[in-house]
Amino acid sequence: MELIPIGMSRNGRDVHLARPETIEAFHRMSVAARREKVFLCAIWAYRSPALQREQFREAQHKHGRREGIRWLAPPGFSEHQTGWALDIGDEKDMEADDNPLFERTAAFRWLRTHAAEFGFELSFLAGNWQGVNYEPWHWRYVGTPQARRAFRSVGLRAGLVWGRSFMEAIRRWAMW
Ligand SMILES: [Zn+2]
């Protein structure tokens, strides 16, 4: 998987990486949004398995062993490990980064209308069957056949591959 920088974290400490096609589409989308005075930024992009493990442990610590899974995917099951998933923030509303407040932002309203034009879709809708918390900030790039195949199987918008992994992961981790 080829990964290149998409930008820095707000604190300037981390360089976020993603696949070139994700970045190209995000860039075109950001330019279009900016024309309408909406300022998108990438809060999280690729997450390495090691980082996923660390953050999963933190989420379990914070939300409890079972609830933790609803907040963050177990290692090996995160869309962030594909290089096609982005957590998108509103440059003007840092408080809404990576949490449900993101719904109040101009960025979210704009994305809801326009993201599909650039090949992005919301991964986890409200009440999704994977049992993952609704994440208005978490978008995935499905603009190439390869990306679409990874996330989706015939007739199942949510993506059988990821969905099934999730169910297995939940079972495995819940028994733990
Ligand atoms: Zn995410």
Residues 6+ positions from 85 with CB-CB distance below 8 Å: 45, 78, 79, 123, 138, 139, 140, 141
State in Å: Cα 37 to ligand 1 middle: 24
Question: Quick one: pLDDT at residue 168?
Answer: 64
Residue-wise pLDDT for 2-26, tens only, equals 999 999 999 998 899 999 999 999 9
Residue-wise pLDDT for 84-135, tens only, equals 999 999 999 999 999 999 999 999 999 999 999 999 999 888 777 767 778 9
CATH for the stretch 4-175: 3.30.1380.10
Q: What is the DSSP track for 6-57?
A: EEE-TTS--EEEE-HHHHHHHHHHHHHHHHTT--EEEEE----HHHHHHHHH
State in Å: Cα 28 to ligand 1 middle: 20
As given in the structure block, the two tokens for residue 166 are 């999730």
State in Å: Cα 36 to ligand 1 middle: 25
